[in-house]
Structure 1
């Protein structure tokens, strides 16, 4: 049996929005982008959303809006994809890593204040695997120190914890990459309750010009100006057309992923040598299903699953041990031991709404066998 690591569900969403977009005038940013932004806000309970080309662009642009750059520091986690810290680097600031909670892999809020210096301007939590960080504690720290909160919410826009939702305490940056909870292949957005940030992003995503193509060419022609040096980072109506049906089914898709996670939970409870990261009270976005195994056996387990035609991944190797960050900042093994334990132990299993119970059975049976073979 072959089990792909991920399969999108676009074939279930219908093609009406996409066909209408292709038949229309605007393939670039236009009315469907605006409609998607509105419906995303409605689902998340936020005031504004701005569609962009990626979560990485979103993170960098929010930092730049707040004037964060050369000489500044942003506190974040080493347990994420490199895009998180790369966005800080691209803005000209320095990422300052804080170790993670051993149970969840999320940034350990109790360690954040020790990392704050006079140069610190922002905290960038990452909601790993779809579970919200301790945003109540992070929000309190940010208020005490006058810091901006920029959420890397690439893994969830659905999560809630302690009565707090994504983007409620600061700008949330979302990803619509190929494997994300809703996808347009590539894409991202900023969701927030700050109209000043949103209005700036609308210009910044299109070179800093005062009017996009839709507003210039709808009705009588309107001249535009360039207010500041911006970027080329706008979402297109083609992307929005793919995303609209998915955001309308977001709760249904989350329910399906939660069901698949439940199948895994029940079966893995009987497999020795496997630990599942803690799931806390609240709403988990259920982006990835990652298990932790003995680091000495992890790579052999990965290969054993691949030998059985099962797609796997590692989410993630900690960023501070990547060559670029090691060489630039002098990080060494042992600097962030909990993140390193996570990074050395993770095996991400196939996980998506259409995954069948039969295939979950096969994956778990294969994992058990691969563990035994690995000694």
Structure 2
């Protein structure tokens, strides 16, 4: 039986196991000193003043909206994972879907600006597959119209625009799911330079209890607002501490592997990834584009041949049952990309042999399918 190359695989070694043991021995299994260490290190890495651990990027997006009392319209791309849109409606706001640039999969100022009106309260750009949106124009828009800027940086840990990391332009929301550039299993992080915002989010995700308030007795817990329990455990924070130490190396390997695949894939048969100007790409995913009529068959054929290909994202959010009612404008680039994109395996531990297999089988199968048409 052919060994299957998975779509993704986390890079875990003995350092993470050792840290988990350290956390367990410490008895700090919930939020505590390991979370604080992880938060401080992550804030330094992103280049912001504050970072706050949370149980997922979806929760980070939700909490960021709730803490800023966003209940009006929020502009987001439809070309994203459904968690982005779910966060908007569960926070009590209304999603407005923006189109994207076909080459990068990222939304941009030309797609966002026409959607801004008196009901708009926030913009959530999604940094797709490992590269930043063109953030200068988006940031200027948010400032001009006094809109909250919340970055969905789930797929772009370490990506930069003009040498500034994603998650440092507005309120950053990160994911540490196993498919991402670093992992804690489940988990996320919020980044910001706004101390008051971070404090409010911390209260919201801790049952609405403000532990900084004066109290007569140490055991007193006084809820000051409705809240949830969305905290990250100390065990996962410990894993994050070790993962963050090697994030630069992990991203370097992703870039190296992606550059090799781009050279080995036949450009006459497909389109390889495009990096926008002034952006760095950290390849959380390696995506290609093919003709729509062969896409589904190619993904199925690659999987039969042992290459764990997938599609991100199809259907786009505005085509999903829950969100169809929110679509008000045409999204031609979103629908075109959603019908032509394929995600090939990408993770740091891929070998040259793995990469050759991915490239050779992709080239071969495209030719074979075209021969049948």
TM-score w.r.t. length of structure 1: 0.93
Residues 1:273 and 2:275 aligned together: no
Moved more, 7-16 or 224-233: 7-16
The answer for the alignment partner of 2:179 in structure 1 is: 179
Q: Does 1:373 align with 2:368?
A: yes
**Residue in structure 1 matched with residue 48 of structure 2 by the alignment:** 46
Provide Cα deviations, 1:101-120, integer angstroms capped at 9, x if missing partner.
12111003112111011110
Matches within 5 A, 1:1-375: 1-11=3-13, 13-69=15-71, 72-211=72-211, 221-268=218-265, 270-280=266-276, 281-317=278-314, 318-326=316-324, 328-329=325-326, 335-375=330-370
Q: How far apart are 1:335 and its partner, in Å?
A: 2.0
Query: What is the alpha-carbon distance in structure 2 between the residues aligned to residue 161 and residue 168 of structure 1?
Result: 10
| TM-aligned CA deviation for residue 22 of structure 1 | 0.8
Shift, 1:205, TM fit = 1.1
Does the residue aligned with 2:129 lie in a helix, a strand or coil?
Answer: helix
Tell me the alpha carbon deviations over residues 31-64 of structure 1, each in whole angstroms, 9 at most, x when there is no partner: 1011100110111111101100111111011111
Q: Residue deviations 1:45-98, cap 9 Å, x none?
A: 1110110011111101111111112xx100110111011111101111111111
**Residue 204 of structure 1, CA deviation:** 1.2
CA distance in 2, matches of 1:185, 1:117: 39
Write the distance in 1 (CA, Å) between the matches of 2:279 and 2:292.
30
* Cα offset, 1:271, TM superposition: 4.4
What are structure 1's unaligned runs of at least 5 residues?
none
What do the CA deviations read for 1:132-166 (whole angstroms, capped 9, x no partner)?
Answer: 00110001111111111000000012111124322
Give the Cα–Cα distance (whole angstroms) in 2 for the partners of residues 19 and 140 of structure 1. Answer: 46
**Aligned equivalents of 2:107, 2:205: Cα separation in 1:** 29
Q: Which runs of 4+ in 1 moved over 6 A?
A: none
Deviations 1:289-317 (CA, angstroms, capped at 9, x unpaired): 01111110000100110111111111112
What RMSD, in angstroms, separates the aligned Cα atoms of the two structures? Answer: 1.7
Query: CA-to-partner distance for each residue in 1:238-278, whole Å, 9 max, x for gaps?
Result: 1101111110111111111111111111111x343210231
More off after superposition, 363-372 vs 230-239? 363-372
Contact 2:99 2:331 in 1 (8 A): yes
CA distance in 1, matches of 2:4, 2:97: 38
Instruction: Give the Cα–Cα distance (whole angstroms) in 1 for the partners of residues 268 and 351 of structure 2.
Output: 23
Q: Alignment length, in residue pairs?
A: 363
Q: Is the partner of 1:131 in helix, strand or coil?
A: coil
Provide the rounded CA distance (Å) in 2 between the counterparts of 1:86 and 1:163.
Answer: 31
How far apart are 1:222 and its partner, in Å? Answer: 4.2
Query: 1:190 & 1:330 partners in 2: Cα distance?
Result: 28
Distance (whole Å) between structure 2 residues aligned to residue 235 and residue 261 of structure 1: 32
Tell me if structure 1 keeps the 8 A contact 2:96–2:326. no
Q: Is the Cα contact below 8 Å between 1:79 and 1:339 reproduced in 2?
A: yes
Q: Unaligned stretches of 5+ in structure 2?
A: none
Contact 1:136 1:164 in 2 (8 A): no
Within 1, Cα distance between the matches of 2:161 and 2:239? 29
TM-score, structure 2 as length reference: 0.94
